Amino acid sequence: MKKKRRYFSVVAVILLLTSNTSASVQAIEKELFQNNSSVEKIDAPYDGKSKEVIASEDTEKNKKRVEKQAASLDSGNELPQESQQYIVKDNQIKVIENEKGILLQDDEKTNICGEKKQLKLQEKNITPYLSTQWVDVPNWVKVDISQILRNKNDMIINRLQTQINQSNEKLGWEKGAMLVFDIPQIEVDEYGPDKNTYMKGIVEVLSDSFKFLSDETISVGVTNEGENLFIERIKNKVSQNIVEIEQTHLGLKDRPTNEIGYYNPWYLTIDGVVDTIDYGKKILDFSNILQSPFISYITTPPSSVEINSKIPDPSSYISITQSLTDHPQFKYLQEPDFSKVGTTEAIVQITDRLDDYSVEEIVHLNYTVTEDKTTLDLQDVNMYVGQTFDPNMPLKNVTDMDGNKLTAADITKYTIDGIQTKTIDTSLPGQHRVKIYHENAHGVEIESNEALVNVSQDQTELELKNVDLEVGDIFDPDAPFQKVVDKDGNLLSSKDIQNYQIDGKNTKELDTSISGQHTVQIAYTNALGQEVVSNEAIITVQKKTYDIQESIYDTEGNLLRDKVITTVNDDQEFTPQPDKYYQEGEITYSYKGWLSDGQTPGKDKPLEGEPPKALSEKTYYYIYEKLDKLINVTLPTEMLFGTADQTNKVSSANYVIKNNSSQMNIDLNLEEFTKEKSDITLLDDGDDIPTGTNNSAKLNLLVDSNLVIKGLSEKIKGKNITHLTPEQSIGLSINGEYFGSMEEKHIVDYKMKIKVKAGAITDER
């Protein structure tokens, strides 16, 4: 707790002293006035003790000590000072006298250096408190206090060295690595030399504390106001273990419980924190924490290698776990010898560099060279639905390391479609993948090639067809085969069939000298070994015939109808009868003549009339001409329609259309009905009738007063109107209803496109 302070002059304080202390007072007065110091009156704390305290030293000893100190001050001499340098800060020094007495040294039994003696109080009548600046403290006191601080530096350095020696943490070899240690603080409670000075508190290293000398590969300093020592690597280079401390800045930790005092002749307490610099050379050994770069690795050579194997890359089987860079260099100092069975050694040198670092490691790899005869060679297998799978089927050449043949029973890891099993469901067609695994001579599990097991549907099929022969033809036993295939879908011939029956007899020969019918049936074994029987085919042996071919062309040489083949018995003649007209879609053609073998339609002129009869094979070309030019129709070029008699009914006159041809039928189609000029909306058949006045109309087209198009509008496209026979006439008209105002006049103009198509010819025959 900070004490309340009141200031007085030095003279006022001196008048309060008693006569038996005058020498000491004069000495203090002399010291204070020489330094122009002020005197501070400080209230002493009340601790509740009795005002009468008997001191532990007798009055004679006290008197001698006071006289000795006063004489020394009067003569201007100071106590002997040590030669070591010290630092003085501008701190206050308190001269404390308690109202209960003056603190004096006690001659207790213990006299251990650094241990505070028990102090008691000398009874006094007046108890003033004096205060002065640090510069007013005698030099011998400053030397003593500085010595106490410096004496603790060795303890701090020793404890710090112990931390470093016991640290499990290392300063990494890479630039930027850092370690931090707590700098020890030493608690002090002891006298100085001759026990004329006293210090209580905690000695610490100050923020600007150590001054280090190093090899410039690491940086050492103090941080966190002197509480931590930091060590940082600043170069990628091997560091020296020893670091020298040129000087150490020490001080007393600033705390209210600190006490620094001396006897001059009373016990005076210095109010403040003091510090000093220790210029003594100190050494810190970092050998325990300095990490040097190195290469660490793991080797995983195979237990054995096959004879005459390729020499691996020197980095093979060496996994780097620590190095300077990610790309160390590997080099064989001695290659392994895989040319003969036995053991062989490889020696590999690993080197790596980074800045000023260079590391090297020698690795020894031992190999056992063996000759392995393990073979896992599989083959594809074709099966059929319903067959039983034998796991030995895919095994083509499977041997162990000694060359002994293995069966499926010897294989512990047998997979089908990635699942460890030796069975296949063959109830459905499909493809399955088989692999096996087995250890070789090196104890390494090797994998076979992949074999395919194809489970196919049995494709055995025996389908026969009927065959027609002519008397005298030679019978081909393959002729009835429509689709005859084996289990794999391969075509079979009669030579592959053992069970071939004609009319119930096992034979492949047929007598064709006379006409008649015969039955053929075959049997064959399927994938499951079952006999399959075909259908029954009919072989018809008939009398000999010849073929007549008839084709139709137009006059331009274009084929209108492909050839028609007519088969005629040898004892009959063929009479050609080309039609007078030929209809091809919407086009009608008229017969013009014929051409025979060796003539070309469109090039050669057709012969008029009927073609001659034939008694043997012959080809006829019938030539036809288009009949479009035969169309002769009378059509109106204009039709007028409108409303009359102030009604909304629309009507027109009957306009005659006549087919003037005496033979040609024609069809009339309304191709389109388009608006040229109109402000009237035409409703089609699907539109609703307006309920009120509306500028629209609904028209109809009539043939002979019969409705053929309801809702005549622009939407009508390609609508059939009527069919006209030769020389037939019809009446074409329009009616409908107008829904607009009868007070208004509208003139409309529409175009109606009618297409005339030639229809069927009226043939007198």
338, 353, 370 - which closes a domain: 370
Distance, in Å, from the CA atom of 624 to the CA atom of 582, rounded to the nearest integer, reads 7
Q: Residue 540's pLDDT is what?
A: 95
Residue 574 clears pLDDT 90, i.e. is over it: yes
Instruction: With respect to residue 514, please indicate whether it lies within any of the assigned structural domains.
Output: yes
In whole angstroms, give the CA distance from residue 761 to residue 757: 12
User: 174 and 250: one domain?
Assistant: yes
- Which residues pair with residue 582 across a beta bridge? 589
Amino acid occupying residue 345: E
Write phi, then psi, for 71 (nearest 5 degrees): -60, -40
Cα(543)–Cα(565) distance, integer angstroms: 18
Q: What is the pLDDT of residue 4?
A: 27
Query: What's the pLDDT score for residue 442?
Result: 77
pLDDT for the residue numbered 536? 96
Q: In the predicted model, what is the mean pLDDT of residues 437-451?
A: 91
Contacts of 33 (CB under 8 A, 6+ apart): 10
Cβ atoms of 703 and 715 closer than 8 Å: no
- What is the model's pLDDT at position 29? 31
CATH number where 402 lies:
2.60.40.10
- Are residues 263 and 163 both part of a single domain? yes
**Helix 59-74 crosses helix 22-34 at what angle (to 10 degrees)?**
30
CA–centroid distance for 98 within its chain: 83
Q: Tell me if 682 sits within 8 A of 699, measured CB to CB.
A: yes
∠ CA(212), CA(218), CA(220), 5° rounding? 40
Report whether 488 contacts 459 (CB < 8 A).
yes
Give a yes or no: residue 4 inside a domain.
Answer: no
Report yes or no on 442 lying in a domain.
Answer: yes
Region of 702 (left: φ > 0; alpha: ψ -120 to 50; beta: rest) is beta
**Boundary of a domain, candidates 386, 421, 456:** 456
Of the given ranges (40-49, 131-140, 540-549, 675-684), which has the lowest mean pLDDT? 40-49
Residues 437 and 398 in one domain: yes
The residue type found at 692 is: G
Q: Among 456, 487, 513, where does a domain finish?
A: 456
Same domain, 556 and 663: no
Cβ neighbours around 524 below 10 Å, total: 22
CA distances from 43 to 126, 530, 561, 604, 684 (A): 13, 129, 143, 154, 124
If asked whether residues 691 and 742 sit together in one domain, one would say yes
Residues 471 and 448 in one domain: no
pLDDT of 252 reads 87
Q: Distance (Å, rounded) from C-alpha 648 to C-alpha 110?
A: 147
Residue 61 CA to residue 59 CA, distance in Å, equals: 6
Judge if 562 and 660 occupy the same domain. no
189 assigned to some structural domain:
yes
396 & 491 share domain: no
Q: What percent of the chain has pLDDT over 70?
A: 81
Q: Is residue 272 very low, low, confident or very high in pLDDT (cuts 50, 70, 90)?
A: low
CATH number at residue 351: 2.60.40
Is the pLDDT confidence value at 734 over 90?
Answer: yes
How do residues 384-437 score in pLDDT, each as one tens digit? 999 999 999 999 999 998 889 999 999 999 999 999 999 999 999 999 999 999
Say whether 444 sits in a helix, a strand or coil. coil
Question: Do 238 and 316 share a domain, yes or no?
Answer: no
Count of residues in the chain: 765
* pLDDT surpasses 80 at 19: no
CA distance 586 to 679: 38
What residues are paired with 354 via a beta bridge?
A: 357
Given a cut of 70, is residue 235 above it in pLDDT?
yes
Q: Say if 82 falls within a structural domain.
A: no
CATH assignment of the domain containing 571: 3.10.20
Lowest mean pLDDT among 8-17, 170-179, 395-404, 515-524: 8-17
Residue 323 counted as domain residue: yes
Position with higher pLDDT, 244 vs 644: 244
Residues 387 and 523 in one domain: no
Taking a C-beta distance cutoff of 8 angstroms, is the pair 106, 117 a contact?
yes
How many domains does the chain divide into?
6
Domain range for residue 746?
639-761
First-to-final CA distance of the chain:
148
Whether the per-residue pLDDT at 762 is higher than 70: the answer is no
Mean pLDDT of 499-512: 95
Q: Which of 171, 283, 289 is nearest to 233 (CA)?
A: 171
**Among 351, 309, 355, 307, which Cα is nearest to 332's?**
351
> Are 176 and 263 in the same domain?
yes
Residue 552 is assigned to a structural domain of this protein: yes
- Tokens read off for 132: 């002065």
Question: What residues contact 138, with CB distance under 8 A and at least 6 apart?
Answer: 31, 78, 79, 262, 264
pLDDT of residue 511: 93
Tell me if 120 is assigned to some domain.
Answer: no
Per-residue pLDDT, 288: 94
Strands 305-306 and 275-278 come out as unpaired
